[in-house]
Structures are given as structure tokens and as C-alpha cells.
């Protein structure tokens, strides 16, 4: 009862807030005829005029309506995309340092251009945080067309850039990149001895895509820069061999915390085996001189019992690669600390890299709280609204959809066994696939995605699998997931920042089918044919 009452109150206050923005929308609309009549050069010159007005003491809020209208007109001319009124509302919310909750497919990427442009005008830089490097590159190029048309500079931070390239990207008016890239650059800058060698400049504003994932789910995740310590490979291997002999009744575990402790019998058994292996000093495991052995034993227990292959990590090219529990992506170059990564390497029998010691560390929560203005976008934030306000002093505003939602949400179904559940899922998928309906199936791990793939194969259903093993094909698989009869099994790596277009994706089909065809009338005719095929497929899918 009280939950429903609270929800209704939240909804009504949200509606009132959204309605209060209508006068600003009216002002934006008022500038449209004048801007439409401008030449491209005149429209681009708006940026210089806005900066002059700011230099003369005007506030960003005062120029917001005309600036937003300018971006809208630039979007029409450069991308053929006109911001809807609800997207304008989203842009206002972002400018005010709040969170815009927008449904999937409502165009969050385009919404960000409004607040980015306005807040880049003072010249202090705006950082746009994306969920992966692919989206950082894509959005910097795609939306960058609007910014460059209006005379702003755009940079992108991706792995393997040299310091001078990073410095140039951060000096841009608008900089795209992942939270990891921004965070690690901050840590590296703080390890440098002079300001000139740093790559970042003082923070001004950040707009975080999938803000609930970054600021809530991963809030306490530490970014760590570490350096090597002494090689203890033999100790890891020796302790691993002992742990593998311990029976399950010799330890107690906490799955949620990923913690594990030996029972009294387990301690006695471990002491005997460690002594036989010559790894124990004296006869008591918990004597001071055995502190290092206890640490290795505990980490080896966690590695062998709590950390699962193809769920928490995969082994690729003889290396243990962590899988991000929130995105399902491989985290190349990231390693668990305190010897855990080495313990997993010993468990898997791959080369053990030297253990590292922490040199610098920060959590995402502490990093993003340093921005004077912070805003974000996501499809799911209202449930975390109290946390956002308590931690970041940010309100969540639910943005209305441009058209009414047609999706039908079904009730949950429960099955006695895992086998019964997967058989039912596979048969349901087959029923929809034979009708030509595209099907996207979300799974929680690589293991589950590949298990479901086996069931679909038994049912004779053609499908694609998207997980950390096949992340190189991610963009292609996701782009075509909306085609007629397509069945796509995905871990949560496909659930953030991707846009599945019904009927297929024009850009990817053109790249796939026409990459060898030179520019000219023949290529234009082929593109027109693909557009028509996508239009027909979309109609069939709907």
C-alpha cells in the first residue's frame, strides 16, 4: 500500500516537473524559423555569438533555448535527425545536473548533444562517459559531426593512446571515453611530478551514459595502478596442489561475499599437507612466520572454490582474463589484487605473472564526485533514485516516451529444474522464430549462454551467441539482431548502450555487402536496394 502510494506521489511530482519545462520548450520552438532560414555558415557562427554573450556575463540558462534550437537545426542538416520535444526535455535535465531516465530506443545519444554543446561553450570541456570503447569511438564520430559543424572540437580516449594524444583529446571541447579510461588517466596524472606532463585538465562536467551501472553498480569498484613485487610462483603452485585435495566439508563459504574459511578439521588437514610439502615453518599454520602461507592458502581457496571459469573469468591465449560482472565484457589488462589473480593462474595451470602492489587507487564513486557538474542517462534509474540523491545529490527525472510503448510485459514463469526451464525457453524461442520474429535472449553468464545455445541447436533453431568469447563480433551481431527471424543469445554485455534496429542495420549491411564496391551510381543503387529490403523486413517484423 505504502509503496504504491509513494510511487503515485513520485509519478505525479515527476509529471509536474516535466510540465514545468514546457515554457522552455516553447522558447526553443520560437527560434526554429529564424535558424531554418540561416545558411550553414550563419548557423555555425552561432557558437561564436554564444561565447561572446557568455563573456559579457550572460548565464548558460539564458542562452539555453537558442543554443538547443541551434543544435536541433544542426542535427537536421548534418545527420538528418531532428530532436523530439521529449529529447529536448532530456537535454534540459542533463544540463541541470540531474539524471534523465529514458526508455530504450528513445535516443539518449542524440539527447546528450544538447547538454554537451551548451556546457562546452565556456571552454572548460565536457566529458561523455560511455560503457565501452566501441561506443566512445562511434559516438565521437557520429555525434561529433554536429559539434564540428558548429565549430567545436571533439576528442576520444581509447586504449593504447600516447600521452600527447590523450592530452590533445582532453583539450577538446567535448571528450568521449569509458569510465575506466578517465579514471586511470586521473590516477596516472597523480603519479606524475609536474603539471606539464599530465594529460587531464581541471574537471568541469561529465555526462554518464548508463549512469546506474557506473555510479551505483560499480560505485565501489576500485581502479588500481600497481607495480610488481617478488616472484612467488612456486609457492602459488604448491599451495594450489594442496587446496585441490581439500574436501568440501573442510571449509565454509559465503557465495555472496566470495569469502571462504577453513574449519578446524580443514586447518589440521592443511597443516599436515603443507608440512609434508615443506611449505610450513614449525607445526602451527597461524604462527607469525607462516603469515604469507596463510595468505596464499586463503587466496587459493577463493580461486578454486569461489571463482568460476567462464563466469568470473575466461582463459584466453594462455592468460586469465577477468569478465566484468556488470557488463559481461572481457577486461583485458585488469588483474585481481592481493595475489588472487596469481592463485587463479595456478589453478588453471597457466603462466603465473608476478604479484603486484598497489601504487594508486580510487573508486568510481569518489572519482565522479570530483566533477562540479555531473549528470547521466539510463533506461533504469527510478528504483535507485534515493541512492543517487543520497550519494551524488542528483534527482532522477523520468522522461516521457515520444510514442506510446507497445511492449507487453508477461508474468514470470517458474520451473522445477534447470533442464525444464531451458527446454521451455528453447521451445518458446522456436515458436517465435518460425514466425519471423527477432528474438533476443538475455543470460547472466557465458556458461548459461552456451548451455542455452546447446538446447536451441537440439531444437533446430539457427542463432548467434554474444558473450565475452565472441566480443570482437559484438557490433555486427547486435546490429543484425533485429532482422527477420534472427535469434541472438547474449550475456549482459549486449544490454548497455546498444541499439537493435528492427529489419536490420543499414550501416553494417552496407559495410558487409558493399565494402569492395567503389563510390558511384552502382553503389548508390545498391544502398537504395538495401534500404528498401530493411524497410520491407521491418514491416514484416512489426
The residues facing 323 across adjacent strands are: 330
Asked if residue 24 and residue 169 are part of one domain, the reply reads yes
Asked if residue 176 and residue 253 are part of one domain, the reply reads no
On the CB side of 369, CA atoms within 13 Å amount to 14
Which grid coordinates belong to 410? 508477461
Class of residue 20 by CB neighbours under 10 A (exposed 0-12, middle 13-18, buried 19+) = exposed
Asked if residue 211 and residue 88 are part of one domain, the reply reads yes
Find how far residue 434's CA is from the centre of its chain.
Answer: 33
Residues 166 and 185: beta-carbon distance below 8 Å: yes
Residues 357 and 229: beta-carbon distance below 8 Å: yes
* Residue listed under C-alpha cell 547474449: 490
Asked if residue 281 and residue 159 are part of one domain, the reply reads no
Mean pLDDT of 78-102: 95
Residues 116 and 128: beta-carbon distance below 8 Å: yes
Give which of 509, 511, 515, 513 is closest to 486, Cα–Cα: 509
Residue 491 makes CB contacts below 8 A (sequence gap 6+) with 328, 442, 443, 444, 445, 446, 448, 449, 466, 467, 468
Band the pLDDT of 219: cuts 50, 70, 90.
confident
For residue 429, tell me if it sits in a domain: yes
How many other C-beta atoms lie within 10 A of the C-beta of residue 535?
12
Asked if residue 346 and residue 380 are part of one domain, the reply reads no
Class of residue 337 by CB neighbours under 10 A (exposed 0-12, middle 13-18, buried 19+) = middle
Q: pLDDT (tens digit, 9 = 90+) per residue, 91-130? A: 999 999 999 999 877 889 999 999 999 999 999 999 999 9
The residues facing 487 across adjacent strands are: 439
Q: What is the reported pLDDT for 224? A: 86
For residue 405, tell me if it sits in a domain: no
* Domain CATH for 486: 3.40.50.300
H or E element, residue 108? helix 108-120
Band the pLDDT of 262: cuts 50, 70, 90.
very high
Asked if residue 215 and residue 247 are part of one domain, the reply reads no
For residue 330, tell me if it sits in a domain: yes
Q: pLDDT (tens digit, 9 = 90+) per residue, 157-195? A: 999 999 999 999 999 999 999 999 999 999 999 999 888
Q: What is the reported pLDDT for 403? A: 78
Asked if residue 378 and residue 429 are part of one domain, the reply reads no
For residue 407, tell me if it sits in a domain: no
Instruction: Find the range with the poorest average confidence among 99-113, 261-275, 394-408.
Output: 394-408
Asked if residue 422 and residue 334 are part of one domain, the reply reads no
Q: What is the reported pLDDT for 243? A: 93
Q: pLDDT (tens digit, 9 = 90+) per residue, 58-68? A: 999 999 999 99
* Domain CATH for 244: 3.90.1440.10
Nearest 10 degrees: CA dihedral of 64, 67, 70, 71? Answer: -90
Asked if residue 276 and residue 199 are part of one domain, the reply reads no
For residue 406, tell me if it sits in a domain: no
Residue 341 makes CB contacts below 8 A (sequence gap 6+) with 320, 335, 353
Asked if residue 393 and residue 508 are part of one domain, the reply reads no
Angle CA 510–515–521, to nearest 5: 75
For residue 503, tell me if it sits in a domain: yes
Containing structural domain, residue 101? 2-222+365-398
Q: What is the reported pLDDT for 470? A: 59
Mean pLDDT of 283-308: 90
* Residue listed under C-alpha cell 546490429: 479
Q: pLDDT (tens digit, 9 = 90+) per residue, 477-512? A: 777 788 888 898 887 654 455 567 788 888 778 887
Asked if residue 243 and residue 216 are part of one domain, the reply reads no
Band the pLDDT of 1: cuts 50, 70, 90.
very low
Q: What is the reported pLDDT for 12? A: 78
Q: What is the reported pLDDT for 449? A: 86
In the chain, the number of structural domains is: 3
Looking at residue 354, what DSSP letter applies? P
For residue 343, tell me if it sits in a domain: yes
Q: What is the reported pLDDT for 2? A: 44
Q: What is the pTM of this model?
A: 0.73
Q: pLDDT (tens digit, 9 = 90+) per residue, 430-484? A: 999 998 889 988 887 778 888 999 999 999 999 988 776 655 566 677 777 888 8
User: Is the pLDDT confidence value at 229 over 80?
Assistant: no
Angle CA 82–88–92, to nearest 5: 150
Average pLDDT over the chain, rounded to an integer: 89
Q: pLDDT (tens digit, 9 = 90+) per residue, 374-394? A: 999 998 777 888 999 999 999
For residue 413, tell me if it sits in a domain: no
Residues 246 and 266: beta-carbon distance below 8 Å: yes
Q: How far apart are CA 370 and CA 365, in angstroms?
A: 9
Residue 210 makes CB contacts below 8 A (sequence gap 6+) with 131, 377, 378, 496, 497
Asked if residue 252 and residue 206 are part of one domain, the reply reads no
Band the pLDDT of 332: cuts 50, 70, 90.
confident
Amino acid at each position: 500500500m505504502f509503496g504504491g502510494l509513494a510511487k503515485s506521489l513520485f509519478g505525479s511530482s515527476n509529471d509536474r516537473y516535466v510540465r514545468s519545462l514546457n515554457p522552455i520548450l516553447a522558447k526553443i520552438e520560437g527560434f526554429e524559423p529564424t535558424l531554418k532560414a540561416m545558411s550553414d555558415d550563419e548557423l555555425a557562427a552561432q557558437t561564436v555569438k554564444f561565447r561572446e554573450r557568455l563573456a559579457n556575463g550572460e548565464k548558460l540558462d539564458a542562452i539555453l533555448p537558442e543554443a538547443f534550437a541551434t543544435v536541433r537545426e544542426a542535427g537536421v542538416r548534418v545527420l538528418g535527425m531532428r530532436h523530439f520535444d521529449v529529447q529536448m526535455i532530456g537535454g534540459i535535465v542533463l544540463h541541470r545536473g540531474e539524471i534523465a531516465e529514458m526508455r530504450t530506443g528513445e535516443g539518449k545519444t542524440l539527447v546528450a548533444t544538447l547538454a554537451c554543446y551548451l556546457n562546452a561553450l565556456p571552454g572548460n570541456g565536457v566529458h561523455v562517459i560511455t560503457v565501452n570503447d566501441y561506443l566512445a569511438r562511434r559516438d565521437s564520430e557520429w555525434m561529433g559531426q554536429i559539434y564540428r559543424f558548429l565549430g567545436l572540437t571533439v576528442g576520444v580516449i581509447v586504449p593504447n593512446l600516447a600521452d600527447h594524444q590523450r592530452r590533445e583529446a582532453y583539450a577538446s571541447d567535448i571528450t568521449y571515453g569509458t569510465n575506466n579510461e578517465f579514471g586511470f588517466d586521473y590516477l596516472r596524472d597523480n603519479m606524475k611530478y609536474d603539471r606539464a606532463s599530465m594529460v587531464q585538465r581541471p574537471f568541469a562536467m561529465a555526462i554518464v551514459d548508463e549512469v546506474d551501472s557506473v555510479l551505483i553498480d560499480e560505485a565501489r569498484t576500485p581502479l588500481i595502478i600497481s607495480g610488481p613485487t617478488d616472484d612467488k610462483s612456486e609457492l602459488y603452485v604448491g599451495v594450489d596442489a594442496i587446496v585441490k585435495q581439500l574436501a568440501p566439508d573442510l571449509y565454509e563459504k559465503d557465495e555472496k561475499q566470495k569469502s571462504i574459511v577453513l574449519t578446524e578439521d580443514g586447518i589440521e588437514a592443511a597443516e599436515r599437507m603443507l608440512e609434508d610439502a615443506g611449505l610450513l615453518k614449525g607445526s602451527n599454520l597461524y604462527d607469525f612466520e607462516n603469515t604469507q602461507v596463510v595468505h596464499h592458502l586463503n587466496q587459493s581457496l577463493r580461486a578454486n572454490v569461489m571463482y568460476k571459469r567462464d563466469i568470473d573469468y575466461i582463459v584466453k591465449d594462455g592468460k586469465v582474463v577477468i569478465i566484468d560482472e556488470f557488463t559481461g565484457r572481457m577486461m583485458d589488462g585488469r588483474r585481481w589484487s592481493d595475489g588472487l589473480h596469481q592463485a587463479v593462474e595456478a589453478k588453471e595451470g597457466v603462466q603465473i605473472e608476478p604479484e603486484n602492489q598497489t601504487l594508486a587507487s580510487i573508486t568510481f564513486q569518489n572519482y565522479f564526485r570530483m566533477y562540479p557538474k555531473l549528470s547521466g542517462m539510463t533506461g533504469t534509474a527510478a528504483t535507485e533514485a534515493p541512492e543517487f540523491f543520497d550519494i551524488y545529490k542528483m534527482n532522477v527525472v523520468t522522461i516521457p516516451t515520444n510514442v506510446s510503448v507497445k511492449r507487453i510485459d508477461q508474468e514470470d514463469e517458474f520451473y522445477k529444474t534447470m533442464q525444464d526451464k531451458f527446454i521451455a525457453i528453447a521451445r518458446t524461442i522456436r515458436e517465435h522464430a518460425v514466425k519471423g520474429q527477432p528474438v533476443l535472449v538475455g543470460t547472466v553468464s557465458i556458461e548459461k549462454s552456451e548451455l542455452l545455445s546447446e538446447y536451441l541447436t537440439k531444437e533446430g533453431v539457427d542463432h548467434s551467441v554474444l558473450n565475452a568469447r565472441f566480443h570482437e563480433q559484438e557490433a555486427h551481431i547486435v546490429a543484425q539482431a533485429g532482422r527477420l527471424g534472427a535469434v541472438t543469445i547474449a550475456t549482459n554485455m549486449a544490454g548497455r548502450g546498444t541499439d537493435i534496429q528492427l529489419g536490420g542495420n543499414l550501416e553494417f549491411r552496407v559495410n558487409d555487402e558493399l565494402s569492395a564496391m567503389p563510390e558511384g551510381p552502382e553503389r548508390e543503387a545498391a544502398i537504395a536496394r538495401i534500404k528498401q529490403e530493411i524497410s520491407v523486413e521491418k514491416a514484416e517484423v512489426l
